[in-house]
């Protein structure tokens, strides 16, 4: 089966007066339809740069080499205009902070409409119908009122769900979610992950789920690559990462989580409450 999305030897170099600095080095992975690839790594490990490089979102101070293919088409070197058409169309991108994706000065409804109009030949009536249907699918009630609101009048979780809804309305072949749960509270994080799992079950969308959160990645990803200092240091399914990771950095990530879980379990035990065993990894 041909992968939907494939990086081969992707490298990103930052040019500056002080010289060139390699930020991403020889990263290769692929994602097939219906599969979710998790990219795990601490802040600054190069997760976002990989995606930005592939999707043409870096400025000229960066030099990108290697290959990034989407549906067998090479993206590196493609024109800015065709990459722009791809993003928000066949490739949906969800970013960490939904607040920054909406313009504070315009109503949410008109921003949704603008995105829909940019990628489809839908009438105003059709756009309104699709906007309401999308809110409904994302389990946002009172859709008509929500369309009239400004971004600051909605919660971060709601905006994030709307971002996911907009991306999914375009029926993308590939959905890239870059830390989609990092900027929101724990309860909403849970809901957003549920939403992503629902999409994964129902559609054949290929997904790249970027996170520094081991437990989030364990819930959604079929396979995981671990990035450290711009390089892939481990790769495999969650159980492999948990039990057989070779790289000391990956082991550290796992140990950190295990340590938090141990403290959690012992605190509950001290209080005489029985912890849920499946939570303790």
- Please list every residue from 32 through 91 that binds Mg ion, using CB under 5 A: 47-48
Name which of 95 and 245 has its Cβ closer to Mg ion.
95
Count Cβ neighbours within 10 Å for each residue of 21-32 and write b for 16 or more, e otherwise: eebbbebebbbb
Rounded least distance, CB 51 to ligand ADP, Å = 8
The least CB distance from residue 2 to ligand ADP, in Å, is 27
Pick what 45 binds: Mg ion, ligand ADP, none; C-beta below 5 to 8 Å, kind-dependent.
Answer: ligand ADP
Q: Which is nearer to ligand ADP, 26 or 149 (CB)?
A: 26
Q: Is 228 in the site for Mg ion (CB under 5 A)?
A: no
Of the pair 14, 83, the CB lying nearest ligand ADP is at: 14
Pick what 54 binds: Mg ion, ligand ADP, none; C-beta below 5 to 8 Å, kind-dependent: none
Smaller CB distance to ligand ADP: residue 111 or 211?
Answer: 211
**246/240 Cα distance (integer angstroms):** 10
The phi and psi torsions of 16 (rounded to 5 degrees) equal -150, 175
User: Which partner, ligand ADP, Mg ion, none, binds residue 109 by CB below 5 to 8 Å per kind?
Assistant: none
State the residues that interact with ligand ADP by CB under 6 A.
Answer: 14, 23, 41, 43-49
23: partner contacted, choices ligand ADP, Mg ion, none (Cβ within 5-8 A by kind): ligand ADP
CB of 181 to ligand ADP, least distance (A): 14
Closest distance to Mg ion from the beta carbon of 193 (Å)? 18
- Closest distance to Mg ion from the beta carbon of 43 (Å): 7
Judged by CB under 5 A, the chain residues 91 through 150 that form the site for Mg ion are: none
# chain residues binding Mg ion, by CB under 5 A: 2
> In angstroms, what is the minimal distance from the CB of 47 to ligand ADP?
3
Per CB under 5 A, residues contacting Mg ion are 47-48
């Amino acid at each position: 089966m041909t992968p939907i999305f494939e990086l081969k030897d992707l490298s990103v170099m930052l040019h500056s007066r002080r010289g060139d600095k390699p930020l991403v080095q020889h990263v290769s992975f692929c994602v097939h339809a219906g599969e979710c690839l998790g990219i795990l790594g601490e802040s600054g490990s190069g997760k976002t740069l990989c995606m930005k490089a592939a999707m043409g979102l870096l400025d000229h101070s960066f030099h990108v080499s290697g290959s990034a293919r989407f549906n067998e088409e090479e993206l590196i070197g493609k024109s800015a205009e065709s990459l722009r058409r791809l993003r928000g169309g066949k490739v949906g991108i969800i970013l960490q902070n939904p607040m920054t994706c909406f313009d504070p000065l315009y109503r949410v409804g008109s921003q949704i409409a603008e995105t829909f109009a940019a990628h489809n030949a839908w009438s105003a009536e059709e756009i309104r119908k699709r906007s309401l249907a999308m809110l409904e699918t994302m389990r946002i009630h009172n859709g008509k009122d929500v369309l009239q609101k400004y971004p600051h009048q909605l919660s971060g979780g709601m905006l994030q769900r709307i971002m996911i809804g907009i991306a999914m309305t375009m029926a993308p072949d590939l959905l890239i979610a870059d830390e989609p749960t990092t900027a929101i509270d724990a309860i909403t994080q849970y809901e957003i992950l549920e939403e992503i799992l629902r999409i994964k079950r129902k559609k054949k969308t290929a997904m790249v789920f970027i996170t520094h959160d081991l437990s989030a990645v364990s819930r959604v990803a079929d396979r995981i690559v671990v990035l450290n200092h711009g390089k892939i240091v481990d790769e495999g399914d969650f159980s492999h990462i948990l039990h057989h990771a070779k790289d000391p950095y990956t082991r550290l990530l796992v140990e950190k989580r295990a340590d938090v879980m141990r403290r959690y379990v012992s605190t509950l035990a001290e209080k005489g409450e029985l912890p849920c065993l499946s939570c303790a990894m």
